[in-house]
Structure 1
Amino acid sequence: MSCQTINLSTGISELEKQLGIKIFERDNKKVLITPLGREVLDKASIIMSQLDELVRLDNSKGKPFCFPLSVGMIPTIAPYLLPKLLPVLKQEYPDSNIDIVEEQSHVLVEMVHSGEIDTAVLAMPYPCDGLLTLEFWQEDFYWIALDGEANTKQTEITSQQLQETNLMLLKDGHCLKDHILDACRFSDDTNNQEYRATSLNTLIQMVMSGLGTTLVPEMAIKQLVTHYPVLSAIHLNEPSPHRRIALAFRPNYVDITTLQLLAKISKQSLMEH
């Protein structure tokens, strides 16, 4: 047995004495974690995560983006925000190190809670119990249809008019679908159940093929629609904003200043494009 193993075992035994509990159940064949021991280890993991953040903050000497920042984004934001945001960060903060993770909202919220990522860019409203949020963008939805279809000569369209169209949305699990249903005050069975996609790009291709129409967020229009001259983008005339974009982070995250700066740059990037 190495000295390191002995020291660890001694340290655990000493901790058990101080707390008056058993962290592990031991016999000659195996070691099991007790229920109270699991709580202790979970708390210790949180403390170690906070300590790591303090060390990173000290190493940065107050300079933003000087240490790796892990940012989660949902699929209906990442492809449209990143091409605008990353060039600005590289120009203004050439030493910045941003690690991007793309996942659905429920996965990202859990990753923030566990400390696996520092923050997540989410579309609100969305349940983020135990997390703080920093809103930096608001936007509306636009109806996308082939030119020549009914209502494509208008500048606005209402949810009542949308009921007369073959509306296609994303599959369950994408918060954009829920936000669209809320904005239009639709039930889940209002949209086309036969055609459901996993990405906005796929929905646009389905519209191009004449299968139906769809709704997309404002930030996605330039990338998804403007280079298809046969498509029309009509503003959804329902109470605004249709969705809000925010950073979600742990209340004890140590570098709030960097997150505030990230939110500011993200907003400026979206406004300029």
Structure 2
Amino acid sequence: MLTLRQLRFLTAVAETLNFSRAAEMCFVTQPTLSAGIKELEDRVGVQLVERTRRSVMLTPLGKDIAARARRLLLDAAEIETLARAHQNPLEGDLKLGSIPTIGPYLLPRTLPAIRKAFPDLRVYLREEMTESLIDGLNAGRLDLILIALPFETGALDILPLFEDGYQLASPADWPTPQDAKTLTQSGQLMLLEKGHCLQRHALEAYPGRIVSAEDSFAATSLTTLIAMVSEGLGVTLLPNLAVSAGVVGSSDVRLTPLPDACPRRVVLAWRPGSARQELFKKLGNLLQRESRSSSGTPRASP
């Protein structure tokens, strides 16, 4: 029969298109990996990998089998996780991913409570864009992700945490803004670069009332946006979660609440049927509790 080891070798080659790097990923020597791929090809009776001195590529069938192999390996990992979870679901390693506009402003406040409630749980944090987090979750690279909706999540299980509104940040020496029309009257709207869900959420919050993403300044972090605002270069939208966490600091900006902006919905997501879903729900309760205890944090999601 096919072995999980052979399938892992194939998926590693598919990911790297390099036998040397694939062997490193699998913690084996390159001859061992090559032999495993050859055994797999002999077993199925067709060539899966085309290899020359300059390149490595999978055949069309090889790509199809590699995709199915990833699902099999993920299921096998879930079996191991299920067994460990049955022994003690509240201990072990947890790979938690978060988007940059939530993680730094919520998780540091919550981690002490998590450590106290689950002393045998080791949480490893990863900060990425939403699309990358979802891909990592589906591939088994992550166990749990903290993201904001609206965003297409497919078949993932979703636990709503709270709603997060916005505030308008403008230079302190500009006239006090009155409402959302200021977004088109006060100068250039500066947003995060494409790929950040906050950019899309901000544009959706005021459809037709702000400049297009192509015409706006794009930054890589909220800290950069705040620095640009304090220099009088424009205005930006900041999530309440970040504001309540002190992201503005001593920067010379004025904050104006925007109660009519459609809030983003902060959620936890995990693979359906995960053996650790009870743990994930407990973690969600801790995150909700922390969001409610912080001043200025948004409404709990229904």
Range into which the TM-score falls when normalised by the shorter chain: 0.7 to 0.9
Q: Percent identity?
A: 27
Corresponding residue number in structure 2 for 1:183: 205
Unmatched 5+ stretches in structure 1:
none
In 2, the alpha carbon distance for the partners of 1:151 and 1:207 equals 14
Tell me which residue corresponds to 1:217.
Answer: 239
Distance 1:213 1:110 in 2: 33
TM-score, normalising length from structure 2?
0.73
Output aligned runs, 1:166-177, within 5 Å.
166=187, 167-177=189-199
Paired positions, count: 261
Q: Which has the higher contact order (CA 8 A, sep 6+)?
A: 1
Quote the Cα distance in structure 2 between the aligned partners of 1:127 and 1:222. 27
Q: For residues 9 and 174 of structure 1, do their structure 2 counterparts lie closer, same or farther at Cα, with a shift above 3 Å needed?
A: closer
**In the alignment, which residue of structure 2 is the partner of 1:91?**
116
1:1-273 matches, cutoff 5 A: 13=42, 16=44, 22=46, 24=48, 34-61=59-86, 63-151=88-176, 157-166=178-187, 167-186=189-208, 189-190=211-212, 193=215, 195-225=217-247, 227-228=249-250, 230-240=252-262, 242-273=263-294
Check conservation: 1:50, 1:253, Cα contact below 8 A.
Answer: no
CA change 1:49–1:238 in 2 (3 A) is same
Distance change in 2, residues 1:210/1:134 (3 Å): same
Does structure 2 retain, via aligned residues, the 8 Å contact 1:142–1:217? yes
In 1, Cα distance between the equivalents of 2:203 and 2:162? 20
Deviation at 1:255, TM superposition (A): 1.8
Question: Taking structure 1 as reference, are residues 270 and 195 closer, same or farther at Cα in structure 2, changes over 3 Å only?
Answer: same
CA RMSD of aligned residues (A): 3.3
Query: Structure 1 residues 62 and 256 mapped into 2: Cα distance closer, same or farther (>3 Å)?
Result: farther
Question: Per the alignment, do residues 195 and 224 of structure 1 end up closer, same or farther by CA in structure 2, a change over 3 Å counting?
Answer: farther
Deviates more, 1:168-177 or 1:48-57: 48-57
Moved runs in structure 1, 4+ residues, more than 4 A?
Answer: 4-14, 23-27, 31-34
CA distance in 2, matches of 1:60, 1:207: 48
TM-score normalised by length of structure 1? 0.80
Q: Where do 5+ consecutive residues of structure 2 fail to align?
A: 1-30, 295-302
Contact 1:56–1:67 (8 Å) recurs in 2: no
- Tell me what 2:28 maps to: none
- 1:112 to 1:150, Cα distance in 2 relative to 1, 3 A: same
Q: Give CA deviations for 1:164-191 in whole Å, capped at 9, x if unaligned.
A: 1122211222110110111111477347
Cα gap change, 1:22 to 1:190, in 2 (>3 Å): closer
